[in-house]
Amino acid sequence: MNILHLALAADWDAARQAGEYRVSTLGRTLEQEGFIHACADQTQLHGVARRFYAQVTDPLVLLTIDPAGLDVRLETPDDSPEAFPHIYGPLPLTAVISVTPFTTP
């Protein structure tokens, strides 16, 4: 089952140049957060988009990720009743199977 991650298009472009993606979430790096936030499905994705990305005016892209071979852990944040996939370590470009423009709902 694939997992999903919202990214600023500029962050994804930088990752393509660097060879790996290291942004955890909006304005926070993998080093700052300890993991990369992801969503298990479209329902989680739209909730995250409404809560954290509604005011973002920069272009966004949706990364669809094949988690095979990645250190992905389902974890429940303190402020949420549901578990989210967290990617521990940088995201290799080869794990991203599609990149599509995303508009917040």
The full set of domain ranges for the chain reads 3-102
Per-residue pLDDT reduced to its tens digit, 35-94? 999 999 999 999 999 999 999 999 999 999 999 999 999 999 888 889 999 999 999 999
State the average pLDDT over residues 13-33. 96
Q: What pLDDT is attached to residue 80?
A: 83
3-state helix, strand, coil in the chain (%, to 5): 25, 40, 35
State the average pLDDT over residues 30-39. 97
The span from the CA of 81 to the CA of 56, in Å, is 25
CB of 82 closer than 8 Å to CB of 44:
yes
CATH topology for 3-102 is: ADP-ribosylation fold (3.20.170)
Cβ-in-10-Å burial (0-12, 13-18, 19+) of 8 comes to middle
Q: Which helix (H) or strand (E) holds 8?
A: strand 3-8
pTM for the model = 0.94
